[in-house]
Amino acid sequence: MRFPRTFTSTAPNRRSPSSRRGLLAALLATCVAALVLAACGEKSEDDSSASDKLSLTLDFYPNPDHAGIYLAQKRGYFRDAGLDLEINSPTDPAAPIKEVAAGRADLAISYEPEVLLARDQGLDVVAVAALVDTPLTSLIWLGDSGIGGINDLRGKTIATAGIPYQDAYLAAILDRVGLTTGDVETVNVGLGLLPALLSGRVDAMLGGFRNIEGVDLRLRGRNPVVTPVDQLGVPPYDELVLVAQGERLESDSESLRLFIAALERGTAAAVADPAAASQALAEAAPGVEPNVLSAEIEATVPILAGREDRPFGYMDAEKWRAFIAWMRDNGLIESLPEPTEVLSNDLLPGEIPE
């Protein structure tokens, strides 16, 4: 229960005892009314103390994948839900999930493989909603590279971000055509995938997102060939998920539920008005070229919309089960958890299908 503000007068007290009693009665009535309003869930628009503070750590710097978040923030949807949201960007994309596990962040955006790796390491984290329920990670080469298909990668140089499970992606992709990672040269370029490809240092790259790097290359007139990894032999998975501490789901989940509902509202608004989403994101990520940002948003909002026959944020347990098995079969994790151990659809708005 929240308590009303305390009013203090700085004027000299020249009132008579009866007038002071009248003032005390009026103040008491005001306090009672405020308590009643608080009990009914009413919050003053200019009273930040009436909001529950909630921290969200992104998976990376603000980008089109976060369009629904920033439009919801700009339009006050989180505030409408009684939430005072703090959005943080990490310097290390692997850090957010650890922040949640340690209780230093309420929510984080991460990736399904990262959730499974964290659980395998004993971290108490659970995916509570999917922001993007399909792979964005892609194998990309340029139109003038002379590469006509995966077979043509033999002897080529491929840039990677040095992420172990993406190395497993590459091995699976090559295996489909009878190649191995020994038939190609891989270069770990960290976050420099795009510069490595544009400079000609490498012939292809694995790890760029089809809705971001793929769009950027198209706008540059480089005619990229962009193929998501689930079309190349990697099982489908949820690219971006919201992650919370498992213990919190049992003890204090209401603010998380409110966040997801407000995010659904912001995502629907972004899908309906990509220009508004672009403007909201431009304010959060100054310096990005407006035409590039607009094109990336246009490519992203249909992905954020999800499926009409599923609630916003829905995660398919059987799809997760297949990906969990793939991770274990490829030596990325040792355990084989049930999907219900690593994900929960319980906080999602709407009816969950059987």
Which residue matches tokens 């246009």?
298
pLDDT reported for residue 48: 41
pLDDT tens digit sequence for 115-140:
999 999 999 999 999 999 999 999 99
Longest dimension (CA), the chain: 97
Mapped onto helix, strand or coil, the DSSP state of residue 107 is strand
Structure tokens at 230: 């689930």
User: Please, what is the angle between helix 254-272 and helix 274-284, to 10°?
Assistant: 120
Question: Percent of the chain beyond pLDDT 70?
Answer: 85
Structure tokens at 284: 């959060």
> What integer is the mean pLDDT of 177-192?
96
Which residue matches tokens 């999907």?
339
Side chain identity, residue 323: F
Sorted by where each starts, the structural domains of the chain and their CATH numbers stand as 52-134+238-342 (3.40.190.10), 137-231 (3.40.190.10)
The yes-or-no verdict on residue 194 having pLDDT over 60 is yes
pLDDT reported for residue 161: 93
pTM: predicted TM-score of the whole model, two decimal places: 0.84
* CA gap 220, 224 in Å, rounded: 10
Q: How confident is the model at residue 308 (pLDDT cuts 50, 70, 90)?
A: confident
pLDDT reported for residue 50: 53
For 143-154, give the DSSP string. TTS---SGGGGT
Average pLDDT over the chain, rounded to an integer: 86
pLDDT reported for residue 188: 97
Question: Are 22 and 16 contacting, i.e. CB atoms less than 8 angstroms apart?
Answer: no
The yes-or-no verdict on residue 17 having pLDDT over 60 is no
> What integer is the mean pLDDT of 73-89?
97
> What integer is the mean pLDDT of 91-109?
91
> C-alpha angle with apex 151: 145 to 154, nearest 5 degrees?
75
Tell me the CA distances in angstroms from 14 to 6, 17, 20, 28, 345, one per residue in order: 21, 10, 9, 20, 62
pLDDT reported for residue 353: 63
